[in-house]
Copies of this chain bind each other. A is one copy, B any other.
């Protein structure tokens, strides 16, 4: 039952930002991060729903495709982001996911009232950080994701391939990619959080009271992708809509023209920068959060021509 690992060891396919020219990122330009490598599960691999449910169920990809279909365009972003000066490694893409709502999937099993946490397990396994792990596991607060998350079976209107986590993966629009469990095998309803390398030990950051919390909602950020004929273009996004992007052209601020938000997709922006050699972009979102100038994973993006 264990999935074969097609590649053993970490996989990273990254692209430079200048390839992110389309609103919807082509699959070949969308980053891939696989800490254990890529799994190669059977195309009919089912997902089991169990734990605090009325009845455990096992759903094949066909079963999931038979549920009401939902199509969501959303930013897909890895939390990992080395703070290497000048290195653009935000690992982001804007993709169109198709699948069933998590609520509709879980309703087939009947979520019991005391379930607060849904544990999503992936088939990938192997070694990371000196630990051998039999699977990948992420827990999510049930109420926050029931209507937001998809059990997805297609991406950019093609069936989900193994390198994208197919046949079925979880997708949580607005959350960092680490939550969108690839090669989904099991959804367990529980009344507590699980201990696992990827739940309580990695992908954490300080919360409001300083204690570690899981990496979930996206940060406000922006990326410059090109400058053509004196006009700089880029994308901006956050866990809520971005309301303003300020671009600087050799230090001179220019308020950028910003697309309106479309759900959880990224928003294009453009600004006239003339012949400037150093351009920066800084986004602010509807919650009033603005990108830090430095030292943070979502710091202001600077482009030197």
Task: List residues of chain A with CB under 8 Å of any chain B CB.
Answer: 5, 8-10, 12, 14, 35-36, 79-84, 87, 89, 125-132, 176, 178, 197-198, 201-204, 215, 297
Contacts and interface: CB of A to CB of B under 8 A. Distances in A.
A79 B201 contact: no
Given A8-B89, A87-B8, A129 B35 contact: yes
The 6 closest A-B CB pairs, nearest first, are A129-B202, A130-B203, A82-B126, A82-B127, A80-B127, A79-B130
B130 A202 contact: yes
Given A8-B89, A12-B10, A201-B202, A36 B82 contact: yes
A202 B8 CA distance: 19
Contacts of A14: 9
Given A36-B82, A82-B36, A203 B8 contact: no
A130 B198 CA distance: 9
Contact of A82 (B5, B79, B129): B5
B82 A132 contact: yes
18 contacts: A8-B84, A8-B89, A9-B14, A9-B82, A9-B89, A35-B129, A79-B130, A80-B128, A80-B130, A81-B132, A83-B125, A83-B127, A84-B126, A129-B198, A130-B202, A130-B215, A131-B202, A131-B204
Contacts of A297: 132
Each complex incorporates copies of this chain amounting to 2
A9 B91 CA distance: 12
Nearest to A126: B82
Contact of A128 (B9, B36, B129): B129
A51 to B, nearest CB: 25
B130 A8 contact: no
Contacts of A81: 127, 132
B8 A82 contact: yes
A130 B131 CA distance: 16
Contacts of A5: 82, 84
A185 to B, nearest CB: 18
A90 to B, nearest CB: 11
Contacts of A201: 129, 201-202
Contacts of A204: 130-131
B9 A12 contact: yes
A178 B128 contact: no
Residue with the highest number of chain B CB atoms closer than 10 Å, among A10, A215, A297: A10
Nearest to A5: B84
Contacts of A36: 82
Residue with the highest number of chain B CB atoms closer than 10 Å, among A89, A129, A198: A129
A203 to B, nearest CB: 4
A67 to B, nearest CB: 31
Given A5-B84, A87-B8, A89-B8, A178 B215 contact: no
